[in-house]
């Protein structure tokens, strides 16, 4: 499939290292980027959005090119997002950055972009490979979900290896855990769950699952679930493994309400509220995608596409299509010397 894509690109005389702008265009002094967020109230997505706005200002100053970001909230509706794409195209956007509502259903967006000749940088919610292979001007920026999960598992493995009593709280040789999962159709939920747990097993943590549930990345849903679990299984839960920071914070809210202490909670994202919980010793650790790098890749790749320039060498693409953002473990020891707000 990839080979076919390259052949098509070559046949169309498009340089493999470049992202060609629309043909016959004069040198541009301004670019317009149409951005659609799957949900504007998602904490992690908002963190990326703020960084992107900063990167756009920095790009303008550095390159002397005016950058207009047209940011829309799809509010969890794929049809709203499809309409936003339609509007972006009619407004003459040079490139689109799309955080798809339904990652399995990016085909209408791709059809519209291909017809209009507008490249698309998808991010965070990965369209299926079949869709990504339809055109050589489709890109994806995100984190490698398996890497995230292995790093999350490592936070607990490291603590268990150094101080088993800090994880196996009742000292019975078993670490009883509950699992909070994100949306069931999201690539990150499935892969994170599988590999976090596998990493705990591989690292020799004697885990036993009490229960788990889907809280759709949301703090309030996770809080309700955890509240229920704490009353169903009193004095039993020793570890909460959460697919993201917001749900981890929801679990912490419920633990605070119930007066449950000492339970270890691990998250993912390194959001601003997540880092505050880390500082307050409520969260054992999190795995943070480098937001500056994430937004930098989006800005530079989108701008190169809009201007028909070579793709940015600082953000090398896998298979000419995917950029994987670097990530790191944050625990209090590593975190103490950091200025979290700038992360
Ligand atoms: C995940 C992130 C979640 C949520 C989700 C939205 O990668 O960890 O917190 O933002 O993306 O697609």
Mutate to test the pocket of ligand 1, among 192, 217, 222, 250 (most ligand atoms within 8 A of CB): 217
What is the reported pLDDT for 26? Answer: 65
Task: Identify the band that residue 19 occupies on the pLDDT scale cut at 50, 70 and 90.
Answer: low
Whether the pLDDT of residue 135 is over 50: the answer is yes
Report the pLDDT value the prediction gives residue 5, as an integer from 0 to 100. 37
- Most informative mutation of 180, 182, 193, 324 for ligand 1 (most atoms within 8 A of CB): 182
Per-residue model confidence as pLDDT tens digits over 315-329: 999 999 999 999 999
| For range 131-160, the mean pLDDT | 98
pTM, rounded to two decimals: 0.90
pLDDT given at position 3: 39
* 3-state per-residue secondary structure call for the chain: CHHHHHHHHHHCCCCCCECCCCCCCCCCCEEEEEEEECCCCCHHHHHHHHHHHHHHHHHHHHHCCEEEEEEEECCCCHHHHHHHHHHHHHCCCCEEEECCCCCCCCHHHHHHHHHHCCCEEEECCCCCHHHHCCCCCEEEEECCHHHHHHHHHHHHHHHHHHCHHHCCCCCCCCEEEEEEECCCCCHHHHHHHHHHHHHHHHCCCCEEEEEEEECCCCHHHHHHHHHHHHHHCCCCCCEEEECCHHHHHHHHHHHHHHCCCCCEEECCECCHHHHHHHHCCCCCEEEEECHHHHHHHHHHHHHHHHHCCECCCCCCCECCCEEECCEEEEEHHHHCCCCHHHC
Give 58-82 pLDDT, tens digit per residue. Answer: 999 999 999 999 999 999 999 999 9
* Digit-coded pLDDT (tens) for 91-103: 999 999 999 999 9
Atom of ligand 1 nearest to the CA of 143: 7
Distance (angstroms) between ligand 1 centre and the Cα of 237 equals 25
pLDDT at 226 over 60: yes
């Amino acid at each position: 499939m990839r080979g076919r894509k390259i052949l098509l690109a070559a046949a169309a005389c498009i340089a493999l290292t470049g992202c060609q702008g629309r043909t016959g265009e004069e040198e541009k002094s301004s670019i317009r980027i149409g951005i659609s967020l799957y949900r504007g109230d998602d904490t992690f997505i908002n963190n990326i959005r703020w960084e992107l706005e900063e990167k756009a200002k920095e790009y303008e100053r550095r390159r002397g090119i005016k950058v207009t970001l047209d940011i829309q909230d799809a509010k969890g509706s794929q049809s709203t997002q499809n309409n936003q794409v339609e509007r972006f195209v009619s407004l003459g956007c040079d490139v689109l950055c799309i955080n798809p509502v339904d990652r399995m259903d990016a085909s209408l967006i791709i059809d519209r972009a291909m017809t209009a000749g507008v490249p698309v940088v998808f991010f965070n919610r990965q369209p299926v490979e079949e869709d990504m292979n339809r055109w050589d001007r489709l890109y994806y920026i995100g984190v490698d979900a398996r890497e995230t999960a292995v790093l999350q598992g490592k936070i607990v493995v490291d603590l268990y290896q150094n101080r088993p009593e800090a994880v196996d709280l009742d000292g019975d040789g078993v670490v009883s855990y509950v699992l909070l999962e994100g949306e069931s159709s999201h690539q990150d939920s499935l892969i994170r769950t599988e590999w976090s747990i596998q990493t705990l097993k591989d690292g020799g943590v004697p885990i036993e699952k009490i229960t788990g549930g889907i809280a759709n990345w949301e703090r309030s849903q996770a809080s309700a679930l955890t509240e229920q679990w704490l009353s169903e299984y009193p004095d039993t839960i020793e570890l909460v493994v959460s697919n993201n920071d917001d749900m981890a914070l929801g679990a912490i809210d419920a633990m605070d309400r119930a007066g449950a202490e000492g339970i270890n909670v691990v998250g993912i994202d390194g959001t601003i509220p997540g880092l505050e919980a880390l500082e307050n010793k409520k969260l054992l650790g999190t795995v943070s995608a480098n937001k500056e790098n994430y937004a930098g890749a989006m800005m530079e790749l989108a701008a190169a596409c809009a201007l028909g320039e070579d793709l940015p060498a600082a953000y090398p693409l896998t298979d000419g299509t995917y950029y994987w953002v670097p990530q790191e473990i944050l625990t209090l020891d590593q975190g103490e010397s950091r200025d979290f707000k700038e992360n």
